[in-house]
Structure formats: structure tokens, C-alpha cells
Amino acid sequence: MSRNTVKAALTPKPRRTRSKREVENAEFDAFVRRILRAYARRVAAGDVEALQSLSQLSSEVDAVTRLAVAGLRKAPYSYSWSEIADRLGTSKQAAQQRYGDRTERGALDRRLLEAGLGISVAALVQVFADHHPGDPATSVCPGCGYRYPEGQSDCPSNATVRPLLRRRRHEDDAAVARLSPVQFADLIGTTKPRTHRATAVRQAALTALVPDRPASLFDHSGKEPA
């Protein structure tokens, strides 16, 4: 048998392969929630200047959710809007308008355009609920992604639906009863002024005034206004 002439000191040792550790989404979710709670505790410890940045994280979450939805919509996953809406707990139309192409954000809800003058109270209730900003109001519409201007808490869809539903609410009491107490009080105008989360740092309250719209979505010819 020939003698081994390989010098061990000059021969690099083979690299040991390390198994890649995959972090499960549930574990990652828990980590993110811990970070957010820790951030809140740091602000609560006297850092009032950071309160505004903390409140604006909702917009960041909305933006990254939109990125996640865009990825799920593409191949090889190709999830439908119905499947995405089911996971988000919203309607297909609301999910598509909020997380779809930028040109769809802030556009009038398709249910309004498709129904025209024949829209039912039940449909008005569903659109109003899907696009309701909540209390305190978020910085963007939860139904279509419309970013509210300062002092306004209605997207174009709810600015259109609000006066229609207020006038017709007695036509279908059962449908109107599906609104939450906050949504119903907001509809009939008995709520206190809504406060924007991003504005709460600067003001104790903010009156959310919806500009009077002389024409509703539908004029006498049944066409949408310009």
C-alpha cells in the first residue's frame, strides 16, 4: 500500500453544510406583534414626539399588504380576488378596489355603477359598511384604498352612498340593521366628530365634514356625474 502523501495542513477541509432555517409565517407574525407592542411601550414611557410615527404604521401595513396581495395574484400562485377577499373577511369588490391596480383605488365602487338607479338599500348598506373609515378613522379607506384629505373621512363611494342611504334607510329596516352601531350613528349624524389617528397627536377632535354634493352618483339621465 502506498503511503499517503497528502499534507493535511495544506488541504482545506470540506465545508460543513448548514441546513437553512426557515421561519414559519406564524412565528414571524408573533415576532412582528412583539416588536409593535414593544414600540408602543417605549412611546408610552414618555416619548410623545414618536406618537405620530406610531399611529402612521397603519399606512405602512396597508402598503405592505398590497405588495403581498400583488404577489399572491401573480403566477405561479394566481389566487383569485374571491379567494383573497375570503381571507381578508371582506367582499370581492372591496378587496379588488383596495389592493388592485392603482387606477382602481378611490374609484366609485363597481356595485354602484352596475346597479345604477335600481340599486337596492341592501346594496347601499353593504357598500357603506365596506368603505366606512371606522372610529377613530384610518388614514385610508378600508374598502378602496383612497387616502383621505385632511378633515375628510369619506371616500368617493361613501360620499355618494351616504345621502342616498340616509334618505332611503326606512325602505329596508332589516338591511340597515346589519350596520354596526358606530356605522349607523355615523350615517344618521349622531356621532361625535371622528378623529383621524394621524391627527390625534395634534388635535383632541376633528370634525369630519363631507362636502355637500349637489348631484348624487346618478343624475336624471342615469349617468354618473363628470
Measured CA to CA, the distance from residue 78 to residue 37 in angstroms comes to 34
Phi, psi of 147 (to 5 degrees): -85, 120
DSSP H or E run through 84: helix 81-88
Most trustworthy range by pLDDT among 8-17, 38-47, 209-218: 38-47
List residues bridging with 137 in a β-sheet: 196
Structure-block grid coordinates of residue 160: 355618494
Burial of 141 (0-12, 13-18, 19+ CB in 10 A): buried
Dump pLDDT digits (tens) for 108-140: 888 888 887 789 999 999 999 999 988 887 788
- pLDDT for 212 equals 44
User: In the 8-state DSSP scheme, what is residue 27?
Assistant: H
Dump pLDDT digits (tens) for 13-27: 555 554 455 568 888
User: In the 8-state DSSP scheme, what is residue 193?
Assistant: P
- The mean pLDDT value for 139-168 works out to 88
Percentage of the chain lying above the pLDDT 70 cut? 72
Phi, psi of 217 (to 5 degrees): -60, -30
- The mean pLDDT value for 167-176 works out to 93
Asked if the model's pLDDT at residue 38 lies above 50, the reply is yes
Measured CA to CA, the distance from residue 72 to residue 94 in angstroms comes to 17
Specify the pTM: 0.51
Asked if the model's pLDDT at residue 166 lies above 90, the reply is yes
pLDDT interval class at 148 (50, 70, 90):
confident
Asked if the model's pLDDT at residue 61 lies above 90, the reply is no
Q: What is the radius of gyration, based on Cα positions, of the chain?
A: 26
The domain ranges of the chain are 105-204
Nearest to 112 by CA among 222, 226, 29, 31: 222
Is residue 50 within 8 A of residue 42, CB to CB? The reply is: yes
- pLDDT for 14 equals 57
